[in-house]
Amino acid sequence: MRIAIVSDIHGNRQALEAVLDQIAAAECDAIWCLGDLVGYGADPDVCVELVREHAEICLAGNHDLAVIGALSIDDFSDAAHQAAEWTRATISAETRAFLETLEPADETQAVALYHASPRDPVWEYVLSPLQAELGFEVQSRRIAIVGHTHVALAFHRFEGADTTGETRHADETLDLSTGHWLVNPGSVGQPRDGDARAAWMELDTEAWTAAYRRVEYDIDGAAMAIRGARLPETLAERLRFGQ
């Protein structure tokens, strides 16, 4: 089964539409979303509607939980705090109701799915081999897929070896057939790994491979929408730099 993994959409309609077009062209069998459908961008309702239409599985991210009031926004950055408040006031009742049905983890699939990490599915940023090693000890499957960091990366541990990992680039393919893995597809709506293109990942659960994908999208249109909504300027500017 070939599954498209998407994460951290953050209300960026332009990026999500470009990713969905590429997924359709790749003829994937299913789409799984790791959460943060809303948060920084200006089109939360459209993004939630598209995910509801296309994704078979969807997790809740910390921004989704904050918007529905299930999580405090006191620890968010100023820009994230403002965006969460704006999103709370903007989203439709249907969007809110859908977000309220989501959970931050799904351990019932062939791979374990977490928005953030196996140890803390809501908040932990897995950016180091030590964090990945600790995750390996508690994740329910040999392979875990996580989002949250907005960075395309992968950590692995083979028998008798230390845990290692690194950022990943477009069209790299991982062989997941052996060892323990913690894999992040990167962000659809606000990449932070220096590549401004929208990110997603193609997981093959028969061949046990994972291929990283990137796609160009209308960054100017997404930035214009953010400015039109009077959201913080930094949220528009950072899109063009992938930071």
Q: What is the pLDDT of residues 5-44, one digit of tens each?
A: 999 999 999 999 999 999 999 999 999 999 999 999 999 9
pLDDT of residue 104: 98
Q: Is residue 193 very low, low, confident or very high in pLDDT (cuts 50, 70, 90)?
A: very high
Any residues with CB less than 8 A from the CB of 56 and at least 6 apart, and which?
A: 30, 31, 32
pLDDT of residue 160: 86
3 state DSSP class of 219 = helix
Element (H, E) at 180: strand 180-185
- Of 123, 101, 125, 103, nearest to 112 by C-alpha is 103
Question: Looking at the predicted structure, is the pLDDT value of residue 189 above 90?
Answer: yes
Mean pLDDT, range 148-175, rounded to an integer? 95
pLDDT of residue 127: 95
Mean pLDDT, range 166-177, rounded to an integer? 96
pLDDT of residue 75: 82
pLDDT of residue 140: 87
Model pLDDT for residues 73-89, shown as the tens digit of each residue: 888 899 999 999 999 99
Any residues with CB less than 8 A from the CB of 203 and at least 6 apart, and which?
A: 2, 3, 4, 5, 111, 145, 209, 210
Model pLDDT for residues 101-137, shown as the tens digit of each residue: 999 999 999 999 999 999 999 999 999 999 999 999 9
Any residues with CB less than 8 A from the CB of 127 and at least 6 apart, and which?
A: 149, 151, 153
Question: Looking at the predicted structure, is the pLDDT value of residue 66 above 90?
Answer: yes
pLDDT of residue 74: 86
pLDDT of residue 129: 96
Residue ranges covered by each domain of the chain: 2-241
Task: Fold for 2-241, please state it.
Answer: Purple Acid Phosphatase; chain A, domain 2 (3.60.21)
Mean pLDDT value across the chain: 96
Task: Report how far residue 174's alpha carbon sits from residue 48's, in angstroms, rounded to the nearest whole number.
Answer: 30
pLDDT of residue 84: 95
- The percentage of residues in the chain with a pLDDT greater than 70, rounded to a whole number, is 100
Q: Is residue 151 very low, low, confident or very high in pLDDT (cuts 50, 70, 90)?
A: very high
